[in-house]
Amino acid sequence: MPKTEVILTSNIVGLGAESDQVKVSAGYARNYLLPHRLAIPVTGANKRRLEALRQRRAEREAHEFNTMNDLAKSLSKLVCLIKVKTGDDGKMFGSVTNGTIADELKHQFEITLDKKKIHLEQPIRNLGEFEVEMRLHHDVKSTLKVVVESLNPPPQAPEAPKTGEPGREGPRTEKRGRRFPTRYGAPAEGKAAEAVAAPAEGKPARSPKAEPKKPKPAKGEPTEKPN
């Protein structure tokens, strides 16, 4: 396949940046790069444009560096919460990938980030907290705190009995006054004592028992005279 040499006028991932002189296939240059003004042919007149392209490239890279540096500071303060489905044993269904984290960043914080900038050595397959490395720029790195929680509610533990004996309520905390019998011993305290001391309204108080009367002597019997 014939090759041709062009000067890039825009940053193209995997190919080069502005002012880079690269070799590409003639068809790729003719059908894509040149029509979309992403590159220009290598000529004497176009070489004189290299200085302007290099200046534009430096400005773009400086802007990207400042933007990523500010983003790195913001990401280090965020907590990305990801809810996942789990089984009864607490194990996750599936895993959390860098694409999952990128989607949650956009959904929760409106941060659009290429998932390739989120570095995971392997997908997250367990619940918990994780520090994820963010490679935002070749000179800028940061970390993001990711918390993976289960969508399933935890099982409720049965309530323990309030006392050591199952099925019985705990000890009563209500304090009651001491009761004393009123017939024998000390009188009752409080209202009970008043009830004992005072007779009920509308009822006459009981008088002490009178001594039994002596029977009258029969007729003809002598009566006893007091000495």
pLDDT at 48: 83
Is 27 in the same domain as 85?
no
Q: How far apart are CA 31 and CA 9, in angstroms?
A: 16
Residue 136 CB burial class (10 angstroms; 0-12, 13-18, ≥19): buried
pLDDT at 49: 86
Is 46 in the same domain as 101?
no
CATH number of the structural domain spanning residue 123: 3.10.430.100
Tens of pLDDT, residue by residue, the chain (227 residues): 688 999 999 999 889 998 999 999 999 999 999 999 999 999 888 888 888 899 999 999 999 999 999 999 999 999 999 999 998 888 899 999 999 999 999 999 999 999 999 999 999 999 999 999 999 998 999 999 999 999 886 666 666 666 655 555 555 555 555 555 545 444 445 544 444 444 545 555 555 555 555 556 555 555 555 54
Q: How far apart are CA 102 and CA 117, in angstroms?
A: 9
Number of domains in the chain: 2
pLDDT at 211: 56
Domain boundaries, position 26: 3-69
Q: How many CB atoms lie within 10 A of CB 28?
A: 16
Residues making up the chain, counted from first to last = 227
